[in-house]
Structure 1
Amino acid sequence: MSYAIVGFGNIGKALAKAFARKGIEVSVATTRDPESFASDAAAIGPTIVPKKLAEAVKADIIFLAVRFDSHPDVAKALPTWQGKTIVDVTNAYGVPPEQLGGQPSSKFIAQAFSGGRLVKGFNHLVAAVLDQDPAVKGGRRVIFLASDDEGAAVQIGTLAENLGFAPIKLGGLSEGGLLVQARGNSWGRLIFKDLVKFD
C-alpha cells in the first residue's frame, strides 16, 4: 500500500509527522516544484518523500490536504481515480451551500475525483492538535471518518489505527459526514472536538 499527501501547509505537515512517527513512507506534493518544499519534508523525517503532483497521485491512498477551492486542480492530475482512495481533509468553510448544489462538500469533491473512493476524515482537528502525538494519557486521539463506501472507511480506519489514532466511523457522507463538515459559515457539531478514546 502506498500513501501520498497532496498539500503541504500546516495540515499536510501535521499528517506527514503522523506518518514519520511510525516510520511509514509517504509522498508529499503540491502544485509547486518539489525542490521548493524539500527542506521542510527532510526536517520532518527520512520517510517523507517530496514528489511532483503527477508522481504522488500514483499512490493507492491520497490525502487531499489542500484548500477546498484547490481540489479541482488536484482532480485534473489523473483522467480517472479508479482503484484509489481519497481522504478528504478539506473544509469548505465560507463556501455557500448553493455553490455545492446543496450537497455535503465531500459529495461535491467526490464528483471531481471520478472513479475514486472518498472518505471524509482527519479534518475535524486544528493543525496544532493534529500535529501532536495521538497517544494521550494512555488513550488515543479520535479521528472521525465518514464514507459512502464501507470498504474504503474500513481501509482508512485501519490506517488511522496504524498511525496511532482511534477511528470512529460516522456512517455515510450525507449523515455522519455532516457532523464534520462546514456548511456555509457554520461548522458541523464535531468539528474542533478533541476527544480521546480509552480502550
Structure 2
Amino acid sequence: MQIAIIGAGHVGETLATMLTRAGYAVKVANSRGPASLSDFARRTGATVADLGTLSAGVDVLIIAIPLCKIPEIPPSVIAELPPDAVVVDANNYYPARDGRLQAIDNGQNESVWVSEQLGKPVVKAFNNIIAGRLGSQGRPRGSAERIALPVAGDDAAARKVVMEIVESLGFDAYDAGDIDASWRQQPGTPAYCTDPNPAELPRLLARADRLAATRNRDQGARLMAKLPADYPAEELVRVARFFVGLDKWRVRSWVSVLKLMTVALRGPTPPDRVSAVSTR
C-alpha cells in the first residue's frame, strides 16, 4: 500500500516513522519543499516528495497539518489522487493556533469543513491521541494494554482501509460511524487524549457533549499553554482520564492532577506558547 502524508510536524513524523516500520511505502511532502525534509527522511525512513507529485499512485493520503493551512493545499494534490484513494483527516481545530474559523465556531463538524475545503470525502482518524503516545503505545493484538482509536467516515470501505492501518500500528480500531459523528472524537470530548481501551471508547464517544467540548477545548488550551513544551504525555493522559471519570481512585491519577496544577500555577502564560498550543 502506498501512503502519502502532507505535514512533517509531530503527527506527520510519528505516522511516517510507524507506517514505514510497518512495511508501508510512505512519501511525505510539506509546503517548504523537499530540501527542508532531508533530516526528516533520515529519521523516519520515508521518501521525500514535492507537493506537485505527492498524490500520484497513492492509496491513502493523510493530512497532518494545522487546520488553518488546509485551504492552502494546492487543488492539484486532490485532483491527481486515484479515484479510489482514501483521504484521512488527522487534524484538530484549536482557535489559539488556527485563528477563528467561523463555520466551525458556528457548529460545523471539523472534518465536514475539511472535506468541503478539499472537495473530497475524508475519514477522521489519528486525531484523538497525543503524537508521542501514538508513537510509543502500540501493542500486539490481544494485549490488555492496547489502546482503541476511533475511525469515522461516510464510506464503509474507506473506513475499513483506515481501520486496517490503525490495527497494523498496534491499536484497536473502532468503527465510529459516519463523518457527522466524528465530532465525538474532537478536542474537549471524553475520548480525546484519554487513551481508552476497547471497552471504554464506545462509552466515552457516547458521552460527548458539543457545547461542553468547545468549553473544555478552550480551557484545556489555556492550561496547556502554561506547561513546558516537554511536559510528559503520560501525565497529561492520566489527568485527562481523571477528569472524564476514569482511574479516579488511583493514587497516581491524583498525583498527576496535583502536579499539573502546581506547574500551571507557577507563572503567567509564556507569550510564545499561546499561538502554538495543542495537546498534539
TM-score of the superposition, structure 2-length normalised?
0.62
Aligned residue in 2 for 1:188: 189
Higher relative contact order (CA 8 A, sep 6+): 1
TM-score of the superposition, structure 1-length normalised?
0.85
Query: What root-mean-square deviation, in Å, do the aligned CA atoms of Structure 1 and Structure 2 show?
Result: 2.2
Change (3 A) 1:79 1:17: closer
Write out aligned runs for 1:136-155 (5 A).
138-139=143-144, 140-155=146-161
Residue 15 of structure 1 aligns with an amino acid whose one-letter code is L
Give me the identity figure in percent.
25
- Mapped to 2, the partners of 1:75 and 1:150 lie a distance apart of 27
1:75, 1:113 within 8 Å by CA — same for their partners in 2? no
Residue 119 of structure 1 aligns with an amino acid whose one-letter code is V
**Partner of residue 156 from structure 1, selected from 153, 162, 184:** 162
- Mapped to 2, the partners of 1:121 and 1:4 lie a distance apart of 15
Looking at secondary structure, tell me which structure has more strand per residue: 1
Which entry has the higher C-alpha Rg, 1 or 2? 2
Question: Aligned pairs, how many?
Answer: 190
Cα distance, 1:129 vs structure 2: 0.8
Aligned residue in 2 for 1:102: 107
Aligned residue in 1 for 2:183: 178
Residue 7 of structure 1 aligns with an amino acid whose one-letter code is G
Aligned residue in 2 for 1:7: 7
- Mapped to 2, the partners of 1:143 and 1:132 lie a distance apart of 14
2:55, 2:78 within 8 Å by CA — same for their partners in 1? no
Q: Secondary structure at the match of 2:19?
A: helix
Deviations 1:132-159 (A, max 9, x none): 1401793433221111111111111112
1:117, 1:152 within 8 Å by CA — same for their partners in 2? no
Where structure 2 has 5 or more consecutive residues not aligned to the other structure, the ranges are 200-280
Residue 87 of structure 1 aligns with an amino acid whose one-letter code is V
Aligned residue in 1 for 2:62: 63
Where structure 1 has 5 or more consecutive residues not aligned to the other structure, the ranges are none
Change (3 A) 1:124 1:77: same
Cα distance, 1:162 vs structure 2: 2.3
Are residues 1:124 and 2:131 paired? no
Residue 21 of structure 1 aligns with an amino acid whose one-letter code is R
**Partner of residue 118 from structure 2, selected from 113, 119, 122:** 113
